[in-house]
Structure 1
């Protein structure tokens, strides 16, 4: 009996440790992802200013180039970072650290080969992917260089995440973005302001900055590897030796595991590529639009709004990166209860962050759009609508990661295939009815269906306690709506005294709106103890500091 009691206490400790790791890991990944996303959005202000009248065309060109780059990036890394993160967590969970080390080395060989192949295809096949726009060719080729080194960099991130060391990944994300932004702004200023050069050249150099950023990330990860090398060597030395798993077997496992990751992780990119290659072909069928009008409309939802709502989605990406290794460890130990609780915790944590962030973005859409791009009524409407769609995209990112973490890859690929079919079916009707908002509408509906199928699958397998999740979920929604209403009222009042159409006035209007909105949500979550329930007892200290009883 005493032994059973000890085992129960040990099990409880492991589950608490698992939850702590998830929250700590999420904090690191969220910090890295958010800061890099914010930095990746802030550069837009000077970049758009220096490009002047060409800014919307440049944004459209940049977005199209990056959609292709993202697709090749997923193929080049072959889903290996996430697959390795999951497999490393699996072998570490059964104390076979030596297998994890060999897994990393095997993955590097595969990724380096894929990087060379994809770079070559992008260099020599750019003309086949230009979508009828010759300006795309130099942009695609400039992005090809980054594909050479990013696969190895991404695999190193995945390996360290398999140990639940999230800090190196988070810091490397920030440094990667910092190096990239510094180079692209310097190059754009030199070309547009000093040389009075071509805007296409400025975009090409801005996209080449991805290579410069990757070099910065490699430096950070190299330093992190050296710092943890002794600890990793000790774990290998004291872990179980498994000689039955050969290098060839590991490479086969990596490729087998990574194929679903390629498809699943490229889900959002696939939807963006559908928009890229269908929007300009379908728009002439619903009205008379010039090439410039279509480029500008495409830029509004594919670049301008995308850059801003992706900051919100990066919160979901941070959760996704954290949950895969933790769920893989629970799966390796066949702990059904832990998997169920982790899925519920991740969903609630996602709602806690994503819903207020999306509603907040919608509430300040006019001011934030004006600060980044100058005032544009159409752009503001697109951003407001895109903010709500970002909830569906973010949930897909987290839910798909959890499906991978519990090895339901085939089922996840089937769900994604259903969503893609729905996207194709709805694309033209939605563009016909909503024009520029059409692609976002079809994406939102498709993602809703995919998310429903995933959550239904979780419920069938793990019997999620929706009854226990209902109260905190309703609290999050209610507090978010109160925050939205409060922020909107503040913005309307300020708008009566300060012009919301200028960049500087919009910026100074934005600050009190954000403070009030964040303050309302924070107060309600602390007052109701919702934050304690989702983030742990440490939040009590914040409540004491703010004198909230």
Structure 2
């Protein structure tokens, strides 16, 4: 085979891998962004129907007190699924062993049913302890909300297995659509509950919050129904995609399958819960530390925590969803490269994935910081403290997104120890900095400790990956610097535009705040888009699709 032929084949494989990454990321990003937008937009009528400002903020803080531990228990219940299942299914599919993939799915359903029940019982039992040690005005109210959420743990684990099975075939669309279905049904149920309880029957706030959190179960039920239909339909009508016949070259026992799932899943659960662990550190340390270092009243502490951990966090999750989507998409791709022992392809994939993440998340985070004031006004109401917290949280998103992507990628490359080491050291750094930073910067210190902690985690993981795969670190550094410079230029342009709009439009008005956001965002997209296409940076990072788009724009 000639060198030219080999070169063409290598470029084709690289292009195909890049195309799958982009396509999968596009589906998962679109679904995740839609889901996050719904998860943020619902807060406007939800808080309005809940009551006055103080009542609504208390309800939102109570909702967050329930959801943070629920997120951790959910990670335990799903045991790293769908990523672990997707990794295993992709591995055996790349070898043509589709029957083994089916067995993994069946075993996964059995295992996750057990862990779901166990996690639901444990969360229900620990609810009083969690509520008593959280920044909430009433431990009894917190207990009720947490116990309501525990019901969702009975169903979501099996739903996650099904998502992982489908993703293992590098089919991201069904999983993406199921996320949107889940969120739409959940939001509709939440809003209907709070409207009838608070506006129609004048019921209690805690009951309204409890029924809102029960929406997680209802949404999961709808999503599971859709996924079951997808698997059933694919098996009947599209066997080459899901449910293909096996080559039967490998024999794997039931116990081997079970052990493989557990072995793969345990590291994924630890890594997947990384951000939630950091949030739990905040939930359990914020109240006692703030009482020691400030003169805040209990209600002021509850409000500050609610703004940072609930309000701002809902907004940054819209941007962070891109990182999460990329991480999910990379699992089957990297697992397939590992099964084929294609280390050159693996190093390219790792490098390209980080570049693609930065190409989107850095300007998006910087842009969110620029429009933080009208954005917070739109979703909640005009508030200087909320604006400041949102700005800091937006920058924090860059570090959270980087950790999310690199940790899952190195896990998919069979390097779990490096990922866990990075997370553990990062959490220790956060814990060590929590008290002095809260003392120095108050609520903002909680965000700074998270930034530093996850920056440390990410650097440790990237260094570990570089030691074995030797990806082009110089190229990554240069392109990251270029993306950062373009993002700063965009920030300057959008800040000038924002300040000019402030001369004519009052930012305190919700409707007009939306106008400011749309105008500034459009300017930001145009400026940043022009820079990355004119310099052909987009071509280098995204590939042929960016080149085609640039040519259509005649740039």
Report TM bin, short chain. over 0.9
| Pairing 1:380–2:381 present | no
Compared CA separation, residues 91 and 377, structure 1 to 2 (3 A): same
Tell me whether 1:404 sits opposite 2:403 in the alignment: no
Cα RMSD over matched residues? 1.6
Secondary structure at 1:80 match in 2: coil
Is the Cα–Cα contact under 8 Å of residues 371 and 504 in structure 1 kept in the other structure?
yes
Q: Report Cα offsets for 1:261-318 as digits up to 9, x if no partner.
A: 1111100000000100111111110122221101100011100110001111100000
Match of 1:301 in 2: 308
TM-score normalised by the chain length of structure 1 = 0.96
CA distance in 2, matches of 1:467, 1:255: 37
SS at match of 1:498: coil
Number of aligned pairs?
547
1:212 pairs with 197, 213, 218, which one?
Answer: 218
TM score, norm. by length of structure 2? 0.95
Does the 8 A contact of 1:526 with 1:548 survive in 2? no
Q: Which of 323, 345, 354 is matched with 2:352 structurally?
A: 345
Q: Deviations over 1:396-417 (max 9, x none)?
A: 0001111111011012111111
Helix, strand or coil for the counterpart of 1:277?
helix
With over 3 angstroms needed to count, the CA separation of the structure-2 counterparts of 1:234 and 1:35, relative to structure 1, is closer
1:177 paired with 2:177, answer no
Q: Which runs of 5+ in 2 are unaligned?
A: 134-138
Contact 1:527 1:548 in 2 (8 A): no
CA drift of 1:13 comes to 2.6
Q: Does 2:44 align with 1:45?
A: yes
Aligned match for 1:532, one of 539, 550, 554:
539
Offset, 1:472: 2.8
Aligned with residue 473 of structure 1, among 470, 477, 480 = 480
Give distance in 1, aligned partners of 2:125 and 2:275.
26
Q: What is the alpha-carbon distance in structure 2 between the residues aligned to residue 235 and residue 57 of structure 1?
A: 47
> Hey, what does 1:248 align to over in structure 2?
255
Partner of 1:202: 208
Alignment of 1:80-479 (within 5 A): 80-132=81-133, 133-230=139-236, 231-232=238-239, 238-242=245-249, 244-479=251-486
Shift of 1:124: 3.1
C-alpha displacement of 1:222? 2.0
CA shift, 1:449, in A, is: 0.7
Report matched runs for 1:503-518 at 5 Å. 503-518=510-525
Within 1, Cα distance between the matches of 2:230 and 2:10?
31
How far is 1:106 from its partner? 0.5
Cα deviation digits, residues 227-267 of structure 1 (max 9, x gap) = 32143478766432156311111101111111111111100
Matched, 1:494 2:494: no
Partners of 1:313 and 1:217 in 2: how far apart? 22
How much does 1:443 deviate? 0.9
What residue number does 1:79 align with? 80
Q: How many Å separate the matches in 2 of 1:441 and 1:237?
A: 49
In 2: Cα distance, 1:446 partner to 1:225 partner: 40
CA distance in 2, matches of 1:361, 1:415: 28
Specify whether residues 236 and 502 from structure 1 end up closer, same or farther in structure 2 by C-alpha distance, changes over 3 A only. closer
TM-fit CA distance, 1:334: 0.8
- Distance in 1, matches of 2:410 and 2:132, equals 34
Q: CA deviation at 1:543?
A: 3.2
What is the distance in 2 between the residues matched to 1:365 and 1:475? 24
